[in-house]
């Protein structure tokens, strides 16, 4: 499964979603950023391009790499359009259980059976989010620790029912997007 992640959908073009989409595209993934508000997608596209331009100016990203990242970015105004072809979906909505629950119920219906579902949460229980789906073994968490020029660290959170293949796929994606990656058991965090 970890070899099969080529397309990542990011749900929500807020600050977290923009940063995740930027990192995913720069890491070589076809990246589909979703938001129901077209204006949010336009702002996200502008900001990601500005970040890449700044990184080129600073010499932290090559010009060709920046151009390639922009070419890997796509935008969608429905969750269905974003998630339909994704191998991994990273949800990045605000920390409200009801919102995340609704999104994961919908993802459970529209995603292919092998799609890895990730919740970007720092305060909610991954197991409780996974429990609203028919595929809790396909769900993990990611906690993104940001630095000035990207992600310093991504913690991959293993819930009790997270399958090893799901964990491996999440860890591999995180490793490509951050300087440091570690796996933590949700039971050890609470």
What are the CA-CA distances from residue 62 to residues 26, 151, 178, 186 (Å)? 11, 18, 17, 37
The pLDDT tens digits for 102-142 are 999 999 999 999 999 999 988 899 999 999 999 999 999 99
Domain boundaries, the chain: 2-189
Q: pTM for the whole thing? A: 0.93
The torsion angle over the Cα atoms of residues 110, 182, 58 and 41, rounded to 10 degrees, is 20
The pLDDT tens digits for 53-106 are 999 999 999 999 999 999 999 999 999 999 999 999 999 999 999 999 999 999
Report how far residue 125's alpha carbon sits from residue 162's, in angstroms, rounded to the nearest whole number: 13
Q: Given a cut of 80, is residue 5 above it in pLDDT?
A: yes
For residue 3, name the pLDDT band (cuts at 50, 70, 90).
low
Report how far residue 20's alpha carbon sits from residue 102's, in angstroms, rounded to the nearest whole number: 21
Name, in order, each residue with C-beta under 8 angstroms of 145's C-beta and a sequence gap of 6 or more: 151, 152, 153, 154, 155, 178
Helices (H), the chain: 15-26, 38-58, 63-72, 79-83, 97-110, 126-130, 164-177, 186-189
Report CA Rg, the chain: 15
Report how far residue 149's alpha carbon sits from residue 165's, in angstroms, rounded to the nearest whole number: 30
Summarize the confidence of residues 152-168 as an average pLDDT. Answer: 94
Fold of 2-189: Rossmann fold (3.40.50)
Summarize the confidence of residues 33-43 as an average pLDDT. Answer: 96
Distance of CA 53 to the CA centre of its chain: 22
Contacts of residues 127-131 at CB distance under 8 Å and 24 or more positions apart, as own/partner, are: 127/159, 127/160, 127/161, 127/186, 128/97, 129/97, 129/100, 129/101, 129/104, 130/104, 130/159, 130/161, 130/162
Q: For all residues of the chain together, what is the average pLDDT?
A: 92
């Amino acid at each position: 499964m970890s070899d099969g992640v080529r397309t990542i959908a990011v749900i929500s073009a807020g600050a977290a979603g923009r940063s995740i989409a930027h990192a995913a595209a720069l890491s070589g993934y076809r990246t589909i950023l979703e938001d129901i508000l077209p204006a949010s997608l336009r702002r996200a596209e502008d900001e990601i391009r500005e970040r890449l331009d700044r990184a080129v100016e600073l010499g932290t990203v090559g010009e060709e790499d920046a151009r390639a990242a922009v070419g890997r970015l796509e935008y969608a105004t429905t969750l269905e359009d974003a998630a339909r072809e994704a191998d991994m979906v990273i949800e990045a909505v605000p920390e409200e259980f009801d919102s995340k629950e609704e999104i994961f119920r919908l993802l459970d219906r529209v995603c292919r059976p092998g799609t890895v579902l990730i919740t970007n949460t720092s305060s909610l229980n991954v197991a409780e989010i996974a429990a609203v789906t028919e595929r809790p073994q396909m769900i993990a968490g990611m906690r993104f620790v940001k630095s000035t020029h990207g992600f310093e660290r991504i913690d991959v959170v293993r819930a009790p029912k997270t399958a090893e293949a799901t964990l491996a796929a999440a860890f591999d994606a995180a490793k490509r997007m951050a300087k440091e990656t570690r796996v933590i058991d949700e039971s050890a965090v609470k």
